[in-house]
């Protein structure tokens, strides 16, 4: 039977076409909204983890600073009587509310605490580590004998002419430290907790079924996916992500951020419930389905009563875009809706989030003083370079700015920073733009140079020549001098960058033994 009714023909053609178009537009909208919500939550978890790790390092550095200052002027500890030593320890204890107790130990382990009590710390691992290395150290978390709380020990050696004369201690209650670090969680259901490399919780925000000093890894307390992410992050020193089932039965997403404190590995776990995203997506899906039914009804009425156009359902689509972007209050019904423009605005919004994420990542990989890569950024970039140049010969050069402590002590830290910056600039000029250069410590630089991009021996000699020219023409009251050690190897994706750095550092140490001139101009 031939359909002669114009209305019926419109119904048969226009309604299915409108329905198809609306389904396609709603699908794109739903997909973009889900991507936007998911990426936003991942970005929040990533940033919270990075911020908590950074705050942890800064808080510990604030505790270390007065210990370093006291170690640089140790007369009261080395030549004073017991009363003077106790007085200095009490003063150090007052420098930070995070310090639980302060102690001074002689090289044989005899120890005086700020309350005047005498102890023996000769058998403690952290004391033996400082005696062996003569370097500042932060111990692994341990359970206090009397407080029964997780704490760590910050240690600073006192040296005279390279000889260990004593050790300053500051005990830190980790619960107090962590409470300060993670006090600003963005959402009430955003859980953060900090663990050490053995998987022991040293502090956490409000979190069901997980307590301080509970061991997570290997004890069946965690979902296997999260435990794998934790082990991967600690092993690779890279931020990892995983969905997992929390102990309270909720499905969550977690970001694991590893970080170092004086050689010990720690990690921050930031997680949020997936229902927070899925719930919003379900609401969005219901809104889209409702809007679809309304649009079909409007189209039917428009066709049945010979409405002027199909502008109304299209305007409804545009309104849904504005609802997704959260701009419904700014909607002007007198304006003609540009649905393509709404799509472009949504894409631009997602792109801006991506750019912000890249900026944060770039900032986390760079050294503020020199503009070079930091240790994290250097290892990541070298790892990529080794994959790109697999099978090619390369060299890893470790350079140490001589007498930096001497410059800091005699002239000032501003001069020390200037010397570090000058050394970084000379290394960039000497090794060229193809070399990957990182500032990995106060006075330490490391350079990766593939044989395809230049001869390392020529680069070292060129750098030495530039340093000599710099010192000849510099009016600064100090010399910039570098000790350099290098090791060559064949690039492979499986190469252990940390091991190569240690090997180059050993070569550097041998070279440094031959360089003991002063760096100060007299």
**What CA–CA distance (Å, rounded) separates 403 from 314?**
72
Q: Are residues 309 and 405 in the same domain?
A: no
Which CATH number covers residue 146?
3.30.450.20
Element (H or E) spanning 312, and its range?
Answer: helix 311-325
Quote the pLDDT of residue 505.
Answer: 84
> Is the pLDDT score of 182 beyond 80?
no
What residue spans of 166-274 are helical by DSSP H?
Answer: 174-181, 224-236
Residue 397 lies in a domain: yes
> Is the pLDDT score of 221 beyond 90?
no
What residue spans of 191-266 are helical by DSSP H?
Answer: 224-236
Residue 38 lies in a domain: no
Quote the pLDDT of residue 514.
Answer: 65
> Is the pLDDT score of 429 beyond 60?
yes
Q: Give the structural domain span for 112.
A: 73-176
Q: Are residues 463 and 382 in the same domain?
A: yes
Token pair belonging to 73: 């002027």
> Is the pLDDT score of 215 beyond 90?
no
Q: Are residues 120 and 166 in the same domain?
A: yes
> Is the pLDDT score of 445 beyond 90?
yes
Quote the pLDDT of residue 487.
Answer: 87
| Structure letter (DSSP) for residue 200 | B
> Is the pLDDT score of 45 beyond 90?
no
Quote the pLDDT of residue 6.
Answer: 45
Task: Decide if 173 contacts 213 (C-beta within 8 A).
Answer: no
pLDDT, tens only, 239-296: 888 887 776 677 888 888 888 776 678 888 877 777 766 666 666 667 767 776 777 6
Residue 226 lies in a domain: yes
pLDDT, tens only, 351-374: 665 667 667 667 777 888 888 888
Q: Are residues 308 and 386 in the same domain?
A: no
Q: How many structural domains compose the chain?
A: 4
Which CATH number covers residue 379?
3.30.70.270
Q: Which of 10-24, 163-177, 235-249, 451-465 is predicted least confidently?
A: 10-24
Quote the pLDDT of residue 466.
Answer: 92
E strands present in 210-318:
240-245, 251-261, 264-273
Quote the pLDDT of residue 168.
Answer: 93
> Which of these three, 152, 176, 200, is where a domain ends?
176
Quote the pLDDT of residue 521.
Answer: 36
* Residue 37: closest CA among 346, 303, 290: 346
> Is the pLDDT score of 43 beyond 70?
yes
Quote the pLDDT of residue 352.
Answer: 67
Enter the pTM of the model. Answer: 0.43
Residue 150 lies in a domain: yes
> Which of these three, 300, 333, 362, is where a domain ends?
362
Q: Are residues 404 and 352 in the same domain?
A: no
Mean pLDDT of the chain: 76
Q: Which of 6-20, 338-352, 382-396 is predicted least confidently?
A: 338-352
Residue 281 lies in a domain: no
> Is the pLDDT score of 402 beyond 70?
yes
pLDDT, tens only, 284-336: 667 767 776 777 677 666 656 544 444 344 445 545 555 555 544 444 444 44
Q: Are residues 488 and 402 in the same domain?
A: yes
Q: Are residues 292 and 352 in the same domain?
A: yes
Quote the pLDDT of residue 11.
Answer: 60
pLDDT, tens only, 77-110: 888 888 899 999 999 989 888 888 899 999 999 9
State the average pLDDT over residues 419-424. 91
Residue 278 lies in a domain: no
Q: Are residues 338 and 393 in the same domain?
A: no
Q: How confident is the model at residue 51 (pLDDT cuts 50, 70, 90)?
A: confident
Q: Are residues 383 and 501 in the same domain?
A: yes
Element (H or E) spanning 23, and its range?
Answer: helix 6-72
**What CA–CA distance (Å, rounded) separates 204 from 183?**
10
> Is the pLDDT score of 72 beyond 50?
yes
| Structure letter (DSSP) for residue 337 | P
> Is the pLDDT score of 46 beyond 90?
no
Quote the pLDDT of residue 421.
Answer: 92
Q: Are residues 349 and 458 in the same domain?
A: no
**What CA–CA distance (Å, rounded) separates 519 from 522?**
9
Report which of residues 248 and 137 the model is more confident about: 137
Residue 522 lies in a domain: no
Strand 137-138 vs strand 118-120: parallel, antiparallel, or unpaired? unpaired
Quote the pLDDT of residue 107.
Answer: 92
Q: Are residues 351 and 413 in the same domain?
A: no
Q: Are residues 266 and 389 in the same domain?
A: no
> Which of these three, 129, 159, 176, is where a domain ends?
176
Residue 311 lies in a domain: yes
Edge-first strand order for the sheet with 240-245 is 201-204, 191-196, 264-273, 251-261, 240-245
């Amino acid at each position: 039977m031939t359909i002669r009714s114009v209305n019926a023909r419109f119904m048969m053609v226009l309604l299915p076409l409108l329905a198809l178009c609306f389904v396609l537009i709603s699908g794109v909208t739903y997909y973009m909204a889900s991507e936007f919500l998911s990426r936003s939550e991942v970005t929040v978890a990533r940033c919270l983890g990075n911020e908590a790790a950074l705050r942890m390092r800064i808080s510990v550095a604030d505790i270390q600073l007065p210990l370093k200052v006291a170690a640089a002027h140790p007369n009261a500890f080395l030549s004073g009587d017991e009363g003077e030593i106790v007085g200095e320890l009490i003063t150090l204890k007052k420098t930070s509310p995070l310090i639980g107790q302060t102690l001074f130990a002689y090289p044989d382990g005899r120890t005086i605490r700020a309350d005047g009590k005498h102890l023996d710390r000769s058998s403690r691992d952290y004391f033996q580590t400082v005696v062996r290395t003569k370097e500042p150290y932060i111990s692994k978390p341990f359970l206090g004998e009397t407080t029964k709380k997780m704490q760590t020990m910050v240690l600073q050696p006192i040296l005279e002419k390279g000889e260990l004369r004593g050790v300053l201690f500051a005990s830190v209650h980790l619960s107090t430290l962590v409470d300060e670090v993670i006090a600003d969680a963005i959402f009430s259901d955003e859980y953060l907790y900090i663990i050490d490399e053995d998987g022991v919780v040293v502090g956490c925000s409000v979190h069901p079924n997980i307590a301080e000093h509970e061991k997570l890894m290997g004890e069946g307390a965690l979902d296997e996916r999260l435990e794998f992410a934790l082990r991967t992050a600690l092993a690779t020193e890279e931020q990892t992500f995983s969905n997992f089932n929390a102990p309270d039965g909720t499905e969550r997403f977690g970001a694991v951020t590893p970080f170092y404190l004086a050689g010990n590995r720690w990690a921050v776990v930031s997680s949020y419930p997936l229902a927070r995203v899925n719930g919003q997506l379900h609401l969005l899906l219901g809104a889209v389905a409702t809007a679809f039914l309304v649009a079909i009804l409007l189209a039917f009425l428009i066709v049945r009563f010979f409405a002027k156009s199909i502008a109304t359902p299209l305007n409804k689509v545009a309104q849904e875009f504005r609802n997704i972007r959260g701009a419904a209050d700014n909607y002007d019904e007198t304006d003609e809706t540009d649905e393509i423009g709404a799509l472009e605005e949504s894409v631009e919004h997602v792109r801006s989030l991506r750019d912000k994420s890249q900026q944060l990542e770039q900032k986390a990989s760079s050294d503020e003083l020199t503009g070079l890569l930091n240790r994290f950024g250097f290892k990541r970039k070298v790892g990529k370079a080794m994959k790109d140049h697999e099978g090619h010969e390369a060299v890893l050069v470790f350079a140490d700015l001589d007498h930096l402590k001497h410059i800091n002590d005699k002239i000032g830290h501003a001069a020390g920073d200037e010397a570090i910056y000058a050394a970084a600039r000379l290394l960039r000029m000497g090794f060229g733009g193809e070399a990957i250069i990182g500032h990995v410590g106060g006075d330490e630089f490391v350079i990766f140079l593939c044989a395809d991009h230049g001869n390392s021996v020529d680069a070292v000699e060129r750098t030495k020549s530039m340093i000599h020219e710099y010192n000849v023409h510099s009016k600064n009251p100090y010399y910039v001098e570098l000790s350099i050690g290098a090791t060559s190897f064949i690039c492979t994706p499986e190469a252990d960058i940390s091991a190569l750095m240690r090997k180059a550092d050993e070569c550097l140490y041998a070279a440094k033994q031959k360089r003991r001139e002063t760096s100060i101009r007299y």
